[in-house]
A and B are shown apart, each in its own frame.
Chain A
Amino acid sequence: MTVVTAVAERRGWLVDRRRRTLAYLGISLAVMTGVFVAGGLAADVAQTTSLPERNLPPSPAHWFGTDWLGRDVLARVLAGLRVSLVVGTTAVLLSASIAVLLACAAGVFGGAVDRIVSWLIDLFLALPHLVLLILLAFALGGGTEAVVLAVGLTHWPTLTRVLRGRAREVIASDYVAVSRQLGRSRTWITRHHLVGHLSGHLLVGAVLVFPHAVLHEAALSFLGLGIDPAEPSIGVLLAESMRHLTAGAWWLAVLPGLCLLVVVKLVDTIGHDVRALLDPRSRQL
């Protein structure tokens, strides 16, 4: 008799994991593009009041119901998610740029520059993130631009810490020492060695900034310190819903929050899937 360990066979579905991840990525991007476009189209409907149709629970005419001014909640949710997507994307781009710059500078120059970068990271992580956001939003004068900036300017420290560690490893490696011996400049080394080695970590880290950024924007708006309350954003919608929750208008709170959760989880899953694709440690399963 031949003894065969069947474990590998049992996990056969993993063979297609790469393809599954790509399919998932495609579907998620399509969903988010759809939300973005629909959010733009729904902008007008989101602000249209209709007093005869106040406080209606979900129905075929209004899938997510209406609020106390008769505005369609689905339209407001779509418009709000569009805001979330914009804030999230801006935060990703800002944070990733800051993180790459600081991490490369710390790695390439080392010494004092590296100490300053570490110190900056520690300083930004010294306060609870939400308190830091509140201070920044306040200092920037409040409103939509202030929130986008505040969220974008505070999500780089963790990512920078990861990238800095990698950058230092690369710079300390033998092949960089060889390049130095050959008289290559710092710019050359950064371009040819560092960028390639950081790109994977950067991609994953940047994608995973998105969920945090979106949730933080929603939190600030919920507290009344973020997006202009006149604009529909998920945080604003949920803050408004609190006044009507005790009257039983559950759809005002449940559905917008659920939609935000779905969008955040879509991106979060993309981040973890891409990490699994790129991380050599996930080779053995």
Chain B
Amino acid sequence: MNGSPRTTPALEVRGLEVDFVQYERGLRRRTVPALTGMGLTAAAGELVAVVGASGAGKSLLAHAVLGLLPPNAVERGAVLHDGAELDAAGRRRLAGRDTVLIPQSVTFLNPLGTVGQHVRRAARIAGHADPDAVAVEALGRRGLGREVMRQYPHELSGGMARRVLVAMATMGRPRLIIADEPTTGLPSASVLSTLRELRENANAGCAVVLVTHALEAALRVADRIVICRDGATVGTAEPTAFHGDGNGLAPYPRALWQALPRNGFRVPVGT
């Protein structure tokens, strides 16, 4: 696999911290830390998997990279695109052109719009001259026929919705793809095809960040695994290190590895 990142990575996140300002019952203000130190790099042609348990702050990292955090979020640290540090507004300007997000569920589609309206709109934003033809082609490539164009999000299966989201997100020529849990809840055949498509994007020169809690799936396609836990990244490992008992791994990744079904659900003492 491609293991030689160029000198300026397409994406670099350094010490990213995010707090949320919340109001309690009675309007006492308090600050809730959500991310406490995230770091990662992804170069062009590289697929980096961010792996961690639910609630480790992975989705938040994805949204922060695109500058899409809600207004009550306070952010510290640095996010660099092609070596240049950008504030949230600057990152949002890149969204949809250079950087795209593949979101995790059907709620990211407008419940009142048909699939056709969604995909055509995405094609138009990406600058295609004939959005309709492009939309039909993009859906067809993912095994969705013309009749799907007339369906509403609530009529789609989880797998169909995911393919629609992927079709929309990859309309342009993105240089950085962030996929947020793209395989959760999919049948295994769809998991494979989704992962393969991400790998092909990376092979074509894109930087791909795969956010997932499924370590095993990530190992199939990733060049590097970034482990995160409780809102912070705790280390990076090569996929090859995950074998046997995982002796070459740091304690937490090793625990994740050993907890997998094929490794016997072992929960090592002392982690």
Q: Give A5 to B63 CA distance when docked, in angstroms.
A: 14
Does residue A17 face the partner (Cβ distance < 8 Å to B)? Answer: yes
Given known contacts A1-B78, A1-B85, is B71 in contact with A7 (CB within 8 Å)?
Answer: yes
Task: Determine whether the beta carbon of B27 is less than 8 Å from that of A5.
Answer: no
Task: Determine whether the beta carbon of A284 is less than 8 Å from that of B78.
Answer: no
Does residue A185 face the partner (Cβ distance < 8 Å to B)? Answer: no
Does residue A27 face the partner (Cβ distance < 8 Å to B)? Answer: no
Considering the complex, give the chain B residue whose CB is closest to the CB of A10.
B71
Question: Which among B21, B26, B88 has the greatest number of chain A C-beta atoms within 10 A?
Answer: B21
Interface string of A1-19 (1 = CB under 8 A from B): 1111101100000110110
Restricting to B77-99, which residues have a CB under 8 Å from any CB of A? 77-79, 85, 87-88
Task: Determine whether the beta carbon of B72 is less than 8 Å from that of A284.
Answer: yes
Nearest CB of B to A22, in Å: 10
Considering the complex, give the chain A residue whose CB is closest to the CB of B69.
A5
Say which residue of B26, B73, B78 sits within 8 Å of A5 (CB atoms).
B73
Nearest CB of B to A284, in Å: 5
Nearest CB of B to A283, in Å: 4
Q: Give A4 to B18 CA distance when docked, in angstroms.
A: 10
Does residue B76 face the partner (Cβ distance < 8 Å to A)? Answer: yes
Nearest CB of B to A182, in Å: 28
Determine the interface band of chain A, counting residues with CB < 8 A from chain B: 20 to 34
Task: Determine whether the beta carbon of A285 is less than 8 Å from that of B23.
Answer: yes
Does residue B6 face the partner (Cβ distance < 8 Å to A)? Answer: no
Task: Determine whether the beta carbon of B29 is less than 8 Å from that of A277.
Answer: no
Nearest CB of B to A142, in Å: 46
How many A-B contacts at CB < 8 Å in the complex?
58
Q: Give A280 to B74 CA distance when docked, in angstroms.
A: 21
Task: Determine whether the beta carbon of B78 is less than 8 Å from that of A3.
Answer: yes
Q: Within 8 Å CB of B25, what residues of A?
A: 277-278, 280, 283
Nearest CB of B to A277, in Å: 6
Does residue B75 face the partner (Cβ distance < 8 Å to A)? Answer: yes
Question: Which among B23, B69, B79 has the greatest number of chain A C-beta atoms within 10 A?
Answer: B23
Q: Within 8 Å CB of A59, what residues of B?
A: none
Q: Give A1 to B28 CA distance when docked, in angstroms.
A: 31
Q: Within 8 Å CB of A5, what residues of B?
A: 69, 71, 73-75, 88
Task: Determine whether the beta carbon of A3 is less than 8 Å from that of B27.
Answer: no
Question: Which among B29, B71, B73 has the greatest number of chain A C-beta atoms within 10 A?
Answer: B29
Q: Which residues of A contact B (CB under 8 A)?
A: 1-5, 7-8, 14-15, 17-18, 21, 276-278, 280, 282-285
In addition to A1-B85, A3-B78, A3-B85, 6 A-B residue pairs with Cβ atoms within 8 Å of each other are: A3-B77, A4-B75, A4-B76, A278-B25, A282-B27, A285-B72
